Structures are given as structure tokens and as C-alpha cells.
Amino acid sequence: MTARPLIPLLAIALVALGVAATTPQADDATYIGANKCRMCHMPYFKAWSATKHAHAMAALAGESDAQKAMAAALKVEILESADRTDACVTCHVTGFRLTGGYPQPDSLKNVALATVGCEACHGPGSKHVSAGADDRRKMINGHPTAETCKTCHTATTSPKFDFEKMKGLVHATVSAAETPSK
């Protein structure tokens, strides 16, 4: 076996370890999809829906020069298509290969996780939605850090990444009057 086929596997493992290490996950919490978050956090959901994160998997559809250039920069070989290459998919979905994350055998849940949804940054939401009002905030990462984002937005993938600037684009400012107290 040559070293070349191991490069994509190593990249996947490193990204998965980085995501798992920086995304909070209660012992048995699972991913539920952004549509569940929408029920209590509609202003944030609407703002997120207009971002590239909400359509991240679509960027892997088809075949483009940008995909080829990124694959070359990351030293990843696209075998079938980018949307079927684990090293690409891992940063374009929620909870890649984590408990309850993408991919799912249930096609509806799979579609719900085929985005960089709320839980990609805030962690799996099952415990958050089932907790009592007093404990709900303890069950989710309310303030993701730059390190969370940098598991995917690396110097190679996003050379001009500026966390302070970008967090305002991903989470457009929502007035306190619109924010549910959940």
C-alpha cells in the first residue's frame, strides 16, 4: 500500500478529531438538525438560512475548478465526486460520522444534517431540547470559539478567515426583542 491513499484518510481523521474535540457533546447527546432549532430560535434560523453554511453541501455538487483546486491544495483525491468524498463532506455537513450526525439511514434526517447547521458550532442538540428551562443553556455551547470554526476554516481552506468578522455573518445580529429566552 502506498502512502497516497492514506492521505485522505489521515485528513478525515484529523478533521474528525478536531471537530469532536471542539464541539461540545454531552455523553449521549445526538444531532437533531437545524429544523428543530428553528422551533425556538426562528430569528437565528432565518439569519443562518441566508448563509453559505446553510447550503454548504450544495457547494460539493457537480464538478468545478474550485473543487479541484481545493482538493489539490488539501492533497485529497476526489474519487467519484466531492459530495461523496469523506475528506470534503466532513466540513460541509453537521456531525460527520458522530452519534446521530451525518450520514443517517433516515433520508429526511440525512437531508437535515446535510448543512453546516446550528449543531456544527453549538454541539448536538438532543439534550438541549429535552432539558428543563433551567438547564437548557447548560446543554449546548452558547458561544463557540474560533477554534471550533478553525477545524474546517484552516489556513488552506480559508486563508483570510477572521473569526470576529465571520461570526457576525454566520449569526447575523438579532435584536434582544426578537430573541426567545430559551
Residue ranges per structural domain of the chain: 31-170
Q: Is the pTM of this model over 0.85?
A: no
**What span, in angstroms and rounded, lies between the C-alpha atoms of 100 and 107?**
13
Residue 2 pLDDT:
42
The CATH number of the structural domain formed by 31-170 is 1.10.1130.10
Q: Which amino acid is at 57?
A: M
Residue 72 pLDDT:
94
The DSSP 8-state label assigned to residue 157 in this structure reads T
Residue 5, all three cell numbers: 491513499
Residue 36's SS3 state is: helix
Contact (CB, 8 A) for 162 and 170: no
Q: Which helix (H) or strand (E) holds 69?
A: helix 65-74
Dihedral of CA atoms 51, 52, 57, 63 in degrees, nearest 10, equals: 150
Residue 26 pLDDT:
53
Residue 40, all three cell numbers: 425556538
- Note down pLDDT in tens along the chain; length 182 residues: 444 443 444 344 444 444 443 444 456 899 999 999 999 999 989 989 988 999 999 999 988 999 999 999 999 999 889 999 999 999 999 999 998 999 999 999 999 999 999 999 999 999 999 999 899 999 999 888 999 999 999 999 999 999 988 887 776 655 434 445 44
**What span, in angstroms and rounded, lies between the C-alpha atoms of 22 and 54?**
20
CA angle centred on 165, ends 161 and 169, rounded to 5°: 100
Residue 17 pLDDT:
41
